[in-house]
Amino acid sequence: MFEKLKKLFTPVESLTADEARAYINEHPEGSFTLLDVRQPNEYERAHIPGAKLIPISKLSDSYDKLDADKPVIVY
Amino acid sequence: MLSGQGFQQVYNLSGGIQAWEGTVAEGPVELNLDMIRGDETPVEIITLAYGMEQNLGTFYRTVSARTGDSELYDLLSMLASIEDRHKGRLMELHRSVEPSPLSVEDFETRVTATLMEGGFDADEFIKRNDKYLGTVAEVLDLSLMLEAQSLDLYLRFAQETGSDETRRVLHTIGDEEKQHLEALGRLRNDRA
């Protein structure tokens, strides 16, 4: 029960666009994941360079494609 | 969802892509991924990147040769020289990963890339964007777009490769491209 609640309520920190941009520029590629959880057509129109596309509907089946030890910036 | 699955640091981009004021890339995930097989060695990837840098430099020089605007000529010459500098950095990278590195002359004989950075054909690009190559602001905008596509392509190559060593090389190239993109963005803001 506690674990279920934890999954629902674990707080996620927010970064403003400026903070995210600074983070991306100050950290080497490969040390973090930039994750785009929108639909493919939205990704196709515009995405942050280097973002990995995993639509939110497929995320729960795709945890193995992400490195849990690295910070993830999600949009 | 991620934070409950063992992901220790998850950050939400406040406002999503709409709030993002940096340059964006366009196109589907698979765009230009047919340029690689996925099993390239670090040296093969460096050779590919070198060719694309070279072709982008040639593109800037081609456009500079036809302009009568001295300010635009200076900008295009500077952009071409930045690509030359990137080629130098790629040679350094080649020397760092290859136990028996080639000379620049021998290395260049192996370069076969016909496309420029970002996966664009130079002639086709000029034809399609001719009307946007007339002013400093337009060229800076196009240059930013090219560099964003280029960074995105290197990082999608990195997602695609099966080799950790090649991925590291692609990430190193991506870091260079990020710095270049930021510098170009500052230059555009200064000139705007």
* CATH number, position A10: 3.40.250.10
End-to-end CA distance of chain B: 42
pLDDT score recorded for residue A10 = 53
Select from A6, A18, A49 the Cβ nearest to the Cβ of B155.
Answer: A49
pLDDT-flagged residues of chain B (< 50): none
> Measured between alpha carbons, how far is residue B61 from residues B82, B85, B122 in Å?
12, 15, 11
Residue A6, pLDDT above cutoff 60? no
Dihedral sign for Cα atoms in the order B145, B151, B152, B154: positive
Contact call for B20 and A48, based on CB within 8 A: yes
**CB contact, 8 Å: A29 with chain B?**
yes
A11-24 pLDDT, tens per residue? 679 999 999 999 99
Q: How many domains does chain A have?
A: 1
Instruction: Give A-chain residues touching B27 at CB under 8 angstroms.
Output: 44
**What is the nearest CA distance from A57 to chain B, expressed in angstroms?**
11
B30-49 pLDDT, tens per residue? 999 999 999 999 999 999 99
pLDDT score recorded for residue B5 = 87
Contact call for A7 and B4, based on CB within 8 A: yes
Contact call for A16 and B3, based on CB within 8 A: no
pLDDT score recorded for residue A1 = 55
Residue A2, pLDDT above cutoff 70? no
pLDDT score recorded for residue B8 = 87
β-bridge partners, A14? B12
Instruction: Give A-chain residues touching B168 at CB under 8 angstroms.
Output: 30
Structure pTM?
0.93
Return phi, psi of residue B120, to 5°.
-100, 145
**What is the nearest CA distance from A38 to chain B, expressed in angstroms?**
10
Contact B161, B36 (CB under 8 A): yes
Q: Is the ipTM of this structure higher than 0.85?
A: yes
**CB contact, 8 Å: B183 with chain A?**
no
Domain that holds residue A11: 2-74
Structure tokens at A12: 């996620």
Q: Which domains does chain B have, with CATH numbers?
A: 40-191 (1.20.1260)
Contact call for B171 and A29, based on CB within 8 A: yes
Select from A20, A42, A49 the Cβ nearest to the Cβ of B152.
Answer: A49
